Structure 1
Amino acid sequence: MQKRQTEAISLMASSPGTRREIVVHRYGQAGTGPKAYLQTGLHADELPGAVVVQHLLALLDEAAAAGRITGEILVVPQANPIGLSQYLFGRHAGRFDFDSLGNFNRHYPGLAQAIGDLVGERLTDDAAGNVDLIRACARRLLEARTPKSEIEHLRLSLMRLAVDADIALDLHCDDVAVMHLYLGNDLWPGAADLSAELQARAVLLADVSGGEPFDEAVGGLWWQLARRFPDCPIPPACLSATVELRGDLDVADNLAAKDAAALFRFLQRRGLIAGNPGPLPPAACEGTPLDGTDMIEAPVGGILLFHVKAGDRVSAGDTVAEVLDPVTGARIPLVARTGGVVFARAGHPLARPGLPVVKVAGAVPLAYRSGQLLTQ
């Protein structure tokens, strides 16, 4: 009989008399099979994942009691105790750190350059050996770092847990949205089983999305090193993904149980849990380039009147929303510049200049999309 092991990682105190911790649940044994890492709550005001994880933990407990865990699985049910505590003027604000004003899902340490400098001459034509070498180096580099603040300690702690994983899933949500994923180009179509299990309506692909988010810090080092050393086989050894669990109001047991079951079956397919997951559902979408995503922004302030719902398909030239000036009554139409699925839209009807209003996953890169491809 296997059992869940739970530990708490204490973070550097931001001020005297305060201390926060990251709780980690572990299943299986390190080195006995593939390693999967799942976390949620990095944007602490995004709550669907917290319910999904509790349903998933129940499934994992049952599998562990039956001796069916065949790999190593780490689950962090609340990855950001700092943001969870940030409540100001009657509102929860868990996306940006009050101290640094930085996004909690940005500025994770990039390791590829340092790893390449250290192991480049030791890489061989053995792909598995290269993976082991790179992972060991990544662990040493992270262990050698000393954080200077609580937020740095948080980022470093999460990286240390995930950097040597075969699978790293960061569970988030958008404002009003359908299920969608963010992945590196090299991970597609290899991650099509994850997309199909979750019935994602959009899979957004990029090597660099901008801002050093968690999933790219963990997974991106593999394709960066592969491009630096093209004569040595370096596979994309970590399926790192940001999983957007619909919208921030989609907090319900029925949805969470469905998503947890899908993640459990995915882990079965990837060899971490014994048992038959059954047939893979048909895919609900294809992968599309992140720079083909039309981020339709409000040009002025006003009140948003939507013409589309999350999940609708639109064509280039379609009006997706209007901005109403409540003083003059004037309306400004917002028009899609590409065809595709509306995978997300703003959750509040108050428009501000530059606010992303509607996001459309298009199949063709757009000329105006470059640099910072993610919203802040």
Structure 2
Amino acid sequence: MTSLGTASAAPGEFDSGRLTVGETRDGTTLGLPVAVVNGARDGKTLYMQAASDGDELNGVGVVRRVVPQLDPAEIAGEILIVGIANLPAFRVAEHRNPIDDTKLNRAYPGTADGSSSERIAHATFTAAESADLVVDLHQGSTSRMINEVRVRCGRHHRLHSQCLELAKVFGTGHVLDQKGPDGQLARAGPNTGVPTIDPELGGCVGWDADSIEYGVTGVFNVLRHYGFLDGDVDTTEQVRAREFDRYGSPAGGLVDYAVELGDRVDAGDALFDVTDPFGMLKATVTADRNGIFWRSRRKPQVATGEYVCSVGARVDTY
């Protein structure tokens, strides 16, 4: 029998339920939606979660597409799923948990008697560290971003090669291989011996069908490559960036981009122009280094010094 919260499944069974992480302000139970897929055959354990940030919904779209396709009779091993990790933020369509104004993906591994986010992190991390692999589904908040996978443990970590393999198997085509901030699940998981990746499935307001499809394909790639499901995966070459160059605006005005997301740029290439409301050019910003145009703000209006875009730098393939 395998359990996660109130979800409990014997071999060959599926169940869903709730994982209690505290109480809301009116005293009712706060329970995250969870599911367990217990395969008919022995195998590895995969932990997967979505919506660690409450407005990053593409991962939720992936979960609701993947789970109905999972037949426990065809699966070897176990799949533990938290469908919405940051439930308080999800309910109000915000990025951060409104109860403690905290970004959940900076609270791992959490504490059992801490703040709301620390308790959620502790409960979900307890499930994650029991697994052999972790996939933490994200998206680029509401900015515009390519589909990518992040390896956040750092290139000198003992599990770096295993995390990098997991990212390659997921297969969005782009990988950011850069040590992440403390408190990320993709940092905490490897520190306890569990290879963990952070797929960033595009960026949108609401959710995006193309990015969700990347996520669905990626999850099934993982399930096949690691033996949960029968079948082979073609682990195609991935474009890897090891750093980000971030660009702000040198003037206030309206932004026009000179390149598209995913385009390769060379040092000196124009990234964007800033004009006044009458179309008069105020500034042109160029790339400092060769790289990939990775991320950009969605709204055109900017103030002096405000973030505009990012270029993935130190690019190679693996």
Same fold (TM over 0.5): yes
Which residue of structure 1 lines up, in the alignment, with residue 55 of structure 2?
A: 45
- State the SS of the aligned residue for 2:102: coil
The equivalences for 1:35-184 within 5 A come to 35-60=45-70, 62=71, 64=72, 67-86=73-92, 92=93, 94-109=94-109, 145-174=111-140, 175-183=143-151, 184=153
User: Aligned equivalents of 1:260 and 1:56: distance in 2?
Assistant: 6
Out of 12, 15, 19, the position equivalent to 1:9 is: 19
Out of 142, 164, 189, the position equivalent to 1:218 is: 189
Q: Is structure 2 residue 236 aligned with structure 1 residue 282?
A: yes
User: Aligned equivalents of 1:30 and 1:164: distance in 2?
Assistant: 19
Which residue of structure 2 lines up, in the alignment, with residue 24 of structure 1?
A: 34
Going from structure 1 to structure 2, the CA distance change for 1:252 and 1:100 (only over 3 Å counts) comes to: closer
Out of 198, 202, 211, the position equivalent to 1:246 is: 202
Out of 323, 327, 347, the position equivalent to 2:274 is: 323
User: Aligned equivalents of 1:214 and 1:30: distance in 2?
Assistant: 29
Which residue of structure 1 lines up, in the alignment, with residue 265 of structure 2?
A: 314
8 A Cα contact 2:163 2:197, kept in partner = no
Structure with more of its chain in helix, by fraction: 1
8 A Cα contact 1:10 1:20, kept in partner = yes
Deviations 1:98-153 (A, max 9, x none): 343322321323xxxxxxxxxxxxxxxxxxxxxxxxxxxxxxxx7xx532332222
- State the SS of the aligned residue for 1:82: helix
Structure with more of its chain in strand, by fraction: 2
8 A Cα contact 2:170 2:221, kept in partner = no
Q: What is the percentage of aligned positions where both structures have the same residue? A: 22
8 A Cα contact 2:52 2:84, kept in partner = yes
8 A Cα contact 2:41 2:76, kept in partner = no
CA RMSD of aligned residues (A): 2.9
TM-score normalised according to structure 2 size: 0.83
Measure how far apart 1:191 and its partner are: 4.6
Q: Is structure 2 residue 172 aligned with structure 1 residue 200?
A: yes
Which runs of 5 or more residues in structure 1 are unaligned?
87-91, 110-141, 223-236, 365-376
The equivalences for 1:260-279 within 5 A come to 260-273=216-229, 275-277=230-232, 279=233
> Taking CA–CA contacts closer than 8 Å with sequence separation of 6 or more, which of the two structures ends up with the larger relative contact order?
1
- The amino acid of 1:68's aligned partner reads E
Measure how far apart 1:355 and its partner are: 3.7
Q: Is structure 2 residue 296 aligned with structure 1 residue 349?
A: no
Measure how far apart 1:298 and its partner are: 2.6
- The amino acid of 1:104's aligned partner reads L
